[in-house]
Amino acid sequence: MSKSQVTPVHRDLKQDDLIVITGAGGFIGGSLARYFHDLGYTHIRAVDKKPLPNWYQRIVGAENLCLDLSKSEACVRAVENAVEVYNLASDMGGMGYIERFRVECMRSSLINTHMLEASYQAGVNRYFFSSSACIYNTRLQQDPNVRALKESDAYPAMAERGYGWEKLFAEMLCQEYWAERQMKTFIARFHNVYGPNGTWDGGREKAPAAICRKVIQAKDNGTNEIMIWGDGTQTRSFTYIEDCTLGIDRITHVDDLVATPINLGSSELISIDELVSVAEEIGNVRLARKYDLNAPRGVAGRNSDNTLIKQKLGWEPGTPFKEGLAKTYQWIEQQYYARKSGEWVVEDSL
């Protein structure tokens, strides 16, 4: 379907209604705040635990709050007078983080429990929750040539330990707040979102950003080699950030999707070795590849079945991976050399 044929988003929002976005100091949350700002919404409350100087994006005119949303009183403050809430607050990162810090990932259940109750008490019209493809049954993801995962593949449950189980529990909370209390909740299962203005160093970065950084470093320091986690055969679908923010908006404003988990991901399957090849092509370099078979690698394969999202929205994420990675690589390259020259850049650290 061409862009001209895509149905416009119909929002029951006034331009000055309060939109609350949590996790707004991070990659997706900050991009979503910018997305709504660019649409002309004038009352955005951006919330994150990190100090303001460490936010990836700060939107001019937004109300920026530093709050620890694992505490109920902070959630009450965050959603006060809100019309719509987009909860993207979570302690997470790439595979290296979520495999090593399972307790921290699971503690995000405090955020989700308190945010739902505070939003209900505040009379919020629509509540969006950012779930993850990590909720899917790991037994279905043991082959790089994995079949695409449809929404029903979450059960019988065998999610990734820590982060995946926490997300699956939060999905159930969202569904019960609709079933029992009639608060409209919306749930998107993200598939490996990447793009500019995200984490690219420090341990929380995901594979596209990590590989881009490693290629840039190898070119810069002249080593001409790259270390790859796993054997390179692992496969994933990667979702460009602009597709993600548009998808969040579309999903949250379709009542047929109330309390219905839905994939938000590209269906273009890419192996890690292929990812490296694309980054090398962008960087105009060829590197010797070394493989760390003891590093975190996650499941063998994961892809998004987009049957439901196409049925409900007449749309699916469509940015080609090469196109999205080129933009990501260029941004990370700018950040890398800015940091090297002594300029201050935002980066995550463990």
The residues carrying an active-site annotation are 163
What distance in Å separates the CA atoms of residue 14 and residue 83, rounded to the nearest whole number?
10
Contact criterion met (CB below 8 Å) for 187 and 258: no
| Cα separation, 232 vs 171, whole angstroms | 32
137: which residues sit within 8 A by CB, 6+ positions away?
Answer: 153, 154, 155, 156, 157, 158, 159
Rounded to whole angstroms, how far apart are CA atoms 153 and 320? Answer: 25
